[in-house]
Structure 1
């Protein structure tokens, strides 16, 4: 492996882009990136089938076992910016490998846990590690591939999420048939070992400057408080566990943390969240669209409930009705990643949010018809694949400097995660307020149509064509 010498500077320099002739090196690198992202996404997908087994094994109720998912989401979102900053300081290769190793350690702790608290510790380590894998992989793409190839590659990375959510529940269910729940997590160990070994050989190695500005401890602390308060406030997790109504205070804390973060970052020598990432219309629009993309992606969680309410589908089989949706999502992500340079970011996002809006409208108006429901799932799946694919990440790579790629990709992840949190809270509340059942769910999806139309209006603010 070649070691690239970088002269000391105030900020790190990325490795040179791979030329088109470096086909073998490019293929090895892409394999490592796809495999790592797939592993992290797969673990998020396999947890749902494991929940009943975990509840029985540790003697906890539904309220307590839900914390398994909340802990992972909380740690993943709060670690994203931290891992991005560390990858700038210590190199993408070092942090990517550290995250892969940390994910394996968390999986081992879960599999060997004798108490529920130890299981939550392992899940937290998994989340902290998973939070850095996707943004670091996206930054590596920006560092090592020419601009005209980035959209296609990031679209394929987005498609790996669809594949993970397609195969994850099937794999977990098969494991539970032939073995215990422990093997759902133990299977990560050989997979992580292979990815680590391949990454050690294939990821570009860059020498780092000796002198660095002080680490932005104040910035990462305020950001963590803001994201943790937002996550717990929206999920009302503390209320669920303690019976105390503290979610309004948590949301107020998250709002008050915003000006605090701006004040801290203006004074930081090397900020965790550079305020210049909000300095252009393209970037500000992108952050809004990331939240909308997360909202659209999160709306998928209610599709199974619609199937149960509309067609009396057994809850154990309702997940199978998502298979066409997931397949359509993967195909659309890969396809529009390839078309991105031709269509331009504005057209791609208009297609994506428009497709999501059509799917949501069909659910809201015609979900009681089986044919309309299935067509709606295809539209929703395609829309999710488009908006969560590579377009927004490519816009960010085009807009920011090489030194800000990791921080910018971290904000993409945070925006999508916030949208995911919001949709679960908003749509579930609307469904309950409308009386629950199929009518309540249809009301929630009609509201989602309004969100998608709003995102289409914001999409018009994107450039019609990629910048050079």
Structure 2
């Protein structure tokens, strides 16, 4: 059974999921797979950490900024051709990434890869929304959501394996056979859906790309420039402020155009769509806020290798992949808001428990258990949230709505990254000196103040520089050994405390997401009611 007006030539609507999920899997994996290879890329290109950081930033920037535009392209030209174009661009860009001879070439190829990902992502949700009937859509989005859960941890694990065995190039080359299979399946399985001939909002495209580009760049790279001057009179606050003004102009322009807009604002009249966008931003914020300090803690405090650190989260991600399809089916039978609210609540409790366990020398099982709860929470949240966001979309605006939903999720992740880095850095400047004062109690009196000051300066120098405190010349061997042991204890305790406090920030954001879920309308999906009718009912 398919949605009205869709001809699959006798095939089940489930036949469209394999190519959509394969493409979405590649996109999600490539948001995380590079992080594990950062030290290797620094050595391979003799590049600074800031330069290599742009290998990931370039991908995320083009990906996030273009989602609104590419969602509307799917409405104008059809999801199938736009998805196929994105798949080809993404796969060829992956080849270019693996063949890159300089850091600049790799960054440019990653930016193009982000364009391919942006072309594909809204079409996956829009195709599911338009092909599946309302009473089956939650189950389909459950499968789609499970792909995101599995991809979250597959990136770091797969990246660690490839980097340690065949080389960094293969974190990109691996996309080529996957992309080829996805392309073959897409050509065979994806239907040509009706398009809607209307003028394309060129000023809206320009305003959205410029506004979101400035906002995302400022938030994403603010910590790199210490939230100050970028070049000459240009500063991070100026860039963010300009982005906010241009984005405001974009909203006013969309309001003026009405139905012809790049992003029809009437979509947000539907309460569940508006709240699902806010909740989507909250869950992306939290996922970024969880993994950044937690991964650093696993490696810097517990001393795990990148691959072993990735494996700590593997059970939780596998649980998420199992739970998500069931949660999607559940949202077809009961009001999806309850699954989403439960998911956010489980996430908040799990991360709250995890924050209490982030300590030096903690047994790993005490970290794995709350991460299992994290997997349950993400599985309950992601799929029903996508269903709630798309339930009120009609055939004309499915792409625009999917683009908006994915844009808010990505921008939420960018904001989360910026806030978490700022909070962690700020807390380290306090927690490490405090831990140093405690550790200095066992040192000779004349070494205590220099020791505390050394730890303070090391913490202020950056996240990765806090592991070493110079031992002054002429210090006896016994005292030098005591200094090093105290420094290690201070760094471990201070970093663990700062990481736990940063995780607490994400708990607050998850509580806000739960409140958004509770505020959604609680009606159950009604079999046989067309999406357009539900939009009219919601608008009324």
TM above 0.5, yes or no, is: yes
Shift of 1:431: 2.5
User: Contact (CA 8 Å) 1:341, 1:465: kept in 2 or not?
Assistant: no
Tell me which residue corresponds to 2:213.
228
Greater mean alpha carbon deviation, residues 374-383 or residues 405-414: 374-383
Task: State how far apart, in whole Å, the 1-side matches of 2:135 and 2:180 are.
Answer: 32
The alignment's TM-score, normalised by the length of structure 1, stands at 0.89
Please list the CA deviations of residues 274-298 of structure 1 after superposition, one character each: whole Å capped at 9, or x if unmatched.
1112223222212211111212222
Matched, 1:43 2:30: yes
Contact 2:331 2:384 in 1 (8 A): yes
Offset at 1:15? 4.6
Q: What is aligned with 2:414?
A: 421
Distance 2:316 2:98 in 1: 31
Work out the CA distance in 2 between the residues paired with 1:354 and 1:250. Answer: 35
Residues 94-105 of structure 1 mapped to structure 2, 5 A cutoff: 94-105=81-92
Q: After superposition, where does 1:303-452 map in structure 2 within 5 Å?
A: 303-308=294-299, 311-314=302-305, 317-368=308-359, 369-370=362-363, 371-387=365-381, 389-434=382-427, 435=431, 437-452=495-510
Local SS of the residue matching 1:125: helix
Does the C-alpha gap of structure 1 residues 110 and 14 become closer, same or farther in structure 2, counting only changes over 3 Å? farther
What SS does the aligned partner of 1:205 have? coil
With 446-455 and 123-132 compared, the bigger mean Cα shift is at 446-455
d(CA) in 2 for partners of 1:294 and 1:466? 26
Distance of 1:311 and 1:449 partners within structure 2: 23
Give yes or no for the alignment of 1:458 onto 2:516.
Answer: yes
Partner of 1:4 in structure 2?
none
Question: Is contact 2:76-2:195 (8 Å) kept?
Answer: yes
Q: Any stretches of 5+ residues in structure 1 without a counterpart?
A: 1-12
- Report deviation, 1:310: 5.7
Contact 2:93 2:112 in 1 (8 A): yes
- Equivalent-residue separation in structure 2 for 1:106 and 1:228 (angstroms): 21
Provide the rounded CA distance (Å) in 1 between the counterparts of 2:161 and 2:277. Answer: 39
Q: Shift of the alpha carbon at 1:203? A: 0.8
**Structure 1 stretch 50-59 or stretch 397-406: which is displaced more?**
50-59
Q: What is the rounded CA distance, in whole Å, between the counterparts of 1:123 and 1:159 in structure 2?
A: 25
Distance 1:452 1:169 in 2: 24
SS of structure 1 residue aligned to 2:524: coil
Are residues 357 and 178 of structure 1, via their aligned partners in 2, closer, same or farther at CA, if it must alter by over 3 Å? closer
Shift of 1:147: 0.8
1:18-417 maps to which residues of 2 (within 5 A)?
A: 22=10, 24-206=11-193, 208=195, 212-236=197-221, 239=225, 244=231, 246-268=235-257, 270-301=260-291, 302-308=293-299, 311-314=302-305, 317-368=308-359, 369-370=362-363, 371-387=365-381, 389-417=382-410
For the pair shown, which has the larger CA radius of gyration, 1 or 2? 2
What displacement does 1:111 show? 1.9
SS at match of 1:391: helix
Change (3 A) 1:165 1:364: closer
Number of aligned residue pairs: give it: 450
> Partners of 2:14 and 2:512 in 1: how far apart?
39
Q: Residue by residue, what CA displacement relative to the aligned partner does 1:176-208 show, whole Å, maximum 9, x if unpaired?
A: 344332232222222212211221121112465
Provide the TM-score with structure 2 as the length reference. Answer: 0.78
Task: Tell me whether 278-287 or 122-131 shows the greater mean CA deviation.
Answer: 278-287
| Partner Cα separation in structure 2 for residue 339 and residue 243 of structure 1 | 49
C-alpha displacement at 1:221, in angstroms?
A: 1.1
SS at match of 2:313: helix
Aligned mates of 2:78, 2:512 — CA distance in 1: 38
Moved over 6 A (4+): none
C-alpha distance 360-249 of structure 1, shift in aligned 2 (>3 A): same
1:173: how far off?
3.1
Please report the RMSD computed on the Cα atoms of aligned residues, expressed in angstroms: 2.4
**Distance (Å, rounded) in 2 between the aligned partners of 1:135 and 1:230:** 21
Q: CA deviation at 1:77?
A: 0.8
